[in-house]
Amino acid sequence: MDQIVSLCKRRGFIFPGSDIYGGLQGTYDFGPLGVELKNNLKAAWWRANVYERDDMEGLDAAILMNRLTWKYSGHEETFTDPLVDCRACKGRWRADHIQGVCPNCGSKDLTESRPFNMMFKTQVGPVADDTSFAYLRPETAQGIFVNFANVLATTSRKLPFGIAQIGKAFRNEINPRNFIFRVREFEQMEIEFFVMPGTEDAWHQRWLDDRLAWWRSVGLSSDNLQVYTVPKADLAHYSKATYDLMYRFPIGFEELEGIASRSDYDLGSHSKDQANLGISAKVMENTDSTARLTYFDPETKRHLVPFVIEPSAGVDRGVLALLTEAYDEEQIKPVSAERAQAVSDALAAFVKSVGRNEKLDPAQRDAILERAEVISQDVAAHMAQIPALLDLPGASSIELSKKLRGQADPALDESYRTVLHLKPALAPIKVAVFPLKRNAPEIVATAREIRKTLQADGNMRTVYDDTGAIGKLYRRQDEIGTPFCITVDFDTLGQGKDASLTGTVTVRDRDTMQQERVLMRELPEYFRDRLR
Ligand code: ATP
């Protein structure tokens, strides 16, 4: 996780929220590359679930909703996590995350756990009193249920069909943690799929298969995905069954998406005239709804309350999964013997100084020493781990770490690369264009023209960069997952040694690092095939 967090901050994927004011816990801002990656993930989801299916409509409902929504959905009463206080250090924890021991001070002197409602409140209108507040939605799903009748009436859909939505959700998590895995403001990609009662089990299974296949299609490997069937005892009272789709995050297998079979609870809860609808779930009596959320079955000529299958995925967890899967450190050349020796010497001095540094927390010191020990056994093989070693809190304050970095950086630059093997369609930038020489006006103009054309005609995010030597520019693009780099040189202009190369550019592939000459005019087509 350290490496991913550091890359995200260093290269502009994800920044801690409100950083210049000391941050706001549980919030993150998506930077220039992060917003592209996130948009690409959401677009891929929308394409697969809305455009490529015949049974889905889209929706974008308001975040603020009438409070009654949350009364009848059950959230006011039950959307809680168990909260405990530590009597020794006054820390507050989510009880089911700490196994009876305060993670801050180690004390076992904890209060009884009590339910803590995770919905944020905000003031609506100019008068502040007990009744004028609204909740920030903790899930997008309820916006779909309250619009069920609207969508049905305006689209003349027949069962089974679904409504898909992507949007922000807010939860006042007791302990936000693990980077963007558990945050207080996040996005969800949710589907409410409405089916005939009696067909829900088959649809539940189909959605599980579909969703697994989709996560694989965006690049997650089967080895890193698991299905957890939530035990009956842990299910919400209305849920018939829930599958949690788990991904192997750096913190272990954790939930990426939940796929729940929710019976007729949701539409039944928000309906008027409940007594006459034959609702099978146990719902709160609704005395406020003005709509009957039913479907007229043309075959039996009866109104019924559809059952619901809900695949609900987190966008932020999706981004973290993609980064986890894609991140790699690769040795591309051997480290020279002199460099290895210099790094080894600096490392030995570094280890000594860490061992003597009394200001460091003993656990941190041990962690640094342990990693340094591994690296020192074979410097050449473990060189790529040095940046993470130096990123450990405490280590950066040591003068020698600078020296170590100074020794390691050139060796790393030549011999290692950090690379994000993102699927091309997901990559924030698709193509980067470089001029071989930035002071050769014709080369620069041609490179800029290629950038413009690919961006406009090919609709692929393309950037121009001339701020370093080509090798360095390649490494930079590797690190952010750009699948292709183009270099324009003298041959392109017909001013090189080989006249047959006139009108061609070098295209370099991120994964294979192979280069080939491609005709400039064929570039849009060349990339269209490869970026699909
Ligand atoms: P968890 O058990 O991890 O708290 P949950 O079961 O409460 O998650 P759901 O209510 O099923 O989560 O929400 C659907 C999806 O929304 C989750 O699978 C996850 O991807 C995402 N999600 C939920 N809470 C958060 C959060 N605090 N931060 C980021 N994503 C979240």
CATH for 12: 3.30.930.10
Q: Are residues 348 and 441 in the same domain?
A: no
3-state helix, strand, coil in the chain (%, to 5): 40, 25, 35
Give, for ligand 1, the residue of 243, 249, 255, 266 to mutate: max count of ligand atoms closer than 8 Å to Cβ.
255
| Model pLDDT, residue 458 | 75
194 and 312 inside one domain? yes
Distance CA 488, CA 265 (A): 61
Ligand 1: does its nearest atom lie under 6 Å from the Cβ of 188? Answer: yes
Same domain (yes/no): 217, 158: yes
pLDDT for position 87: 95
Nearest CA to ligand 1 atom 2: 255
Nearest CA to ligand 1 atom 1: 255
Question: End of a domain among 273, 303, 324?
Answer: 324
Q: Is 182's C-beta closer than 6 angstroms to any atom of ligand 1?
A: yes
Ligand 1 and 414: CB distance under 6 A: no
Question: In this structure, which residue's CA is closest to atom 14 in ligand 1?
Answer: 312
pLDDT at 396 (0 to 100): 65
Residue pair 30/13 in contact (Cβ under 8 Å)? The answer is yes
Eight-class DSSP state of 86: B
**In 3D, which of 481, 339, 467 has the Cα closest to residue 414?**
339
Residue 47 DSSP class: I
CATH at 486: 3.40.50.800
Range of the domain at 188: 2-79+118-324
Say yes or no: CB of residue 244 within 6 Å of ligand 1.
no
Whether residue 174 has its Cβ less than 6 Å from ligand 1: no
pLDDT at 421: 98
Cβ proximity of 433 and 462 under 8 Å: yes
Please work out whether the CB of residue 257 comes within 6 Å of at least one atom of ligand 1: yes
Q: Do 442 and 341 sit in the same domain of this protein?
A: no
> Which residues make beta-bridge pairs with 304?
295
Q: Is 489 labelled as part of a ligand binding site? A: no
Question: Is residue 155 a part of any domain in this protein?
Answer: yes
474 with 494, same domain? yes
Crossing angle for the helix pair 441-458 and 523-531, to the nearest 10 degrees: 50
The span from the first CA to the last CA of the chain, in angstroms, equals: 29
Residue 388 burial (C-beta neighbours within 10 Å; 0-12, 13-18, 19+): middle
Q: Give DSSP secondary structure letters for 455-492.
A: HHHH---EEE--SS-HHHHHHHHHHTT--EEEEE-TTT
Residue ending a domain, choose from 324, 348, 364? 324
- What's the domain count of the chain? 3
Please check if 317 is assigned to a binding site. yes
137 plus 32 within the same structural domain: yes
Tokens of 378: 């074979």
**Nearest CA among 138, 123, 143, 140 for reference residue 171:** 138
In a domain, 386, yes or no: yes
Q: How far apart are CA 142 and CA 205, in angstroms?
A: 23
Is 317 a pocket residue for ligand 1 (Cβ < 6 Å)?
A: yes
Rounded to 5°, angle at Cα 272 from 268 and 274 = 55
- Which residues, at least 6 apart from 417, have a Cβ–Cβ distance to it below 8 Å? 329, 330, 332, 475, 478, 479
Q: How far is CA 440 from CA 159, 361, 463, 500, in A?
A: 64, 54, 19, 21
Structural domain includes residue 15:
yes
425 belongs to a structural domain:
no
Is the C-beta atom of 320 inside 6 A of ligand 1? no
Q: Tell whether 196 and 129 lie within a shared domain.
A: yes
pLDDT digit of tens for each residue in the chain (532 aa)? 888 998 999 999 999 999 999 999 999 999 999 999 999 999 999 999 999 999 999 999 999 999 999 999 999 999 999 999 999 999 999 999 999 999 999 999 999 999 999 999 999 999 888 888 999 999 999 999 999 999 999 998 999 999 999 999 999 999 999 999 999 999 999 999 999 999 999 999 999 999 999 999 999 999 999 999 999 999 987 889 999 999 999 999 999 999 999 999 999 999 999 999 999 999 999 999 999 999 999 999 999 999 999 999 999 999 999 999 999 988 888 888 888 888 888 888 888 888 777 777 888 788 888 888 888 888 888 887 887 777 776 666 667 788 888 888 877 777 888 999 999 999 999 999 999 999 999 999 999 999 999 999 877 899 999 998 999 899 999 999 999 999 999 999 999 999 999 999 999 999 999 999 999 999 999 999 898 7
Same domain for 300 and 341, yes or no, is no
User: Which of 25, 165, 178, 186 has most ligand 1 atoms within 8 Å of its beta carbon, as the pocket-test mutant?
Assistant: 186
25 domain residue, yes or no: yes
Annotated binding-site residue? 310: yes
In this structure, is residue 218 part of a structural domain? yes
Q: Has 181 been labeled as part of a binding site?
A: yes
pLDDT given for residue 393 in this prediction? 65
Kindly give the number of the ligand 1 atom that is closest to the alpha carbon of 176. Answer: 27
Q: Per the structure block, which two tokens stand in for 219?
A: 């690049």
If asked whether residues 518 and 372 sit together in one domain, one would say no
Please work out whether the CB of residue 313 comes within 6 Å of at least one atom of ligand 1: yes
Ligand 1 atom with the smallest distance to the CA of 257 is: 18
* 3-class state of residue 378 by DSSP: coil
Distance separating alpha carbons of residues 254 and 359, to the nearest angstrom: 35
**215 Cβ below 6 A of ligand 1:** no
Ligand 1 center–CA 314 separation, angstroms: 6
Residues 67 and 215 in one domain: yes
Q: Among residues 365, 383, 418, which one ends one of the domains? A: 418
Q: Is the CB of 186 under 6 A from ligand 1?
A: yes
Asked if residues 279 and 33 have their Cβ atoms less than 8 Å apart, the reply is no
pLDDT at position 345: 87
Residue carrying the six token digits 């003068």? 399
186 is in an annotated binding site: yes
Q: What CA–CA distance (Å, rounded) separates 125 from 123?
A: 6
Residue 508 lies in a domain: yes
Residue 379 has a pLDDT of: 85
Name the residue with the closest Cα to ligand 1, atom 19. 314
Q: Decide if 101 is inside a domain.
A: no
Q: Answer whether 329's CB lies under 8 Å from 5's CB.
A: no
Q: Report yes or no: 82 and 294 within 8 Å, Cβ to Cβ.
A: no
Answer yes or no: is 188 a known binding residue. Answer: yes
Specify whether 413 is located in the same domain as 467.
no
- From the CB of 310, is ligand 1 less than 6 Å away? no
User: Which is the closest atom of ligand 1 to the Cα of 183?
Assistant: 28
CB contact set of 233 (below 8 Å; sequence gap of 6+) = none
Q: Which atom of ligand 1 is nearest to the CA of 260?
A: 11
Please state at what angle helix 2-11 crosses helix 315-326, rounded to 10 degrees: 100
The amino acid occupying position 259 is I
Ligand 1 site, residue 255, Cβ cutoff 6 A = yes
Same domain, 7 and 146: yes
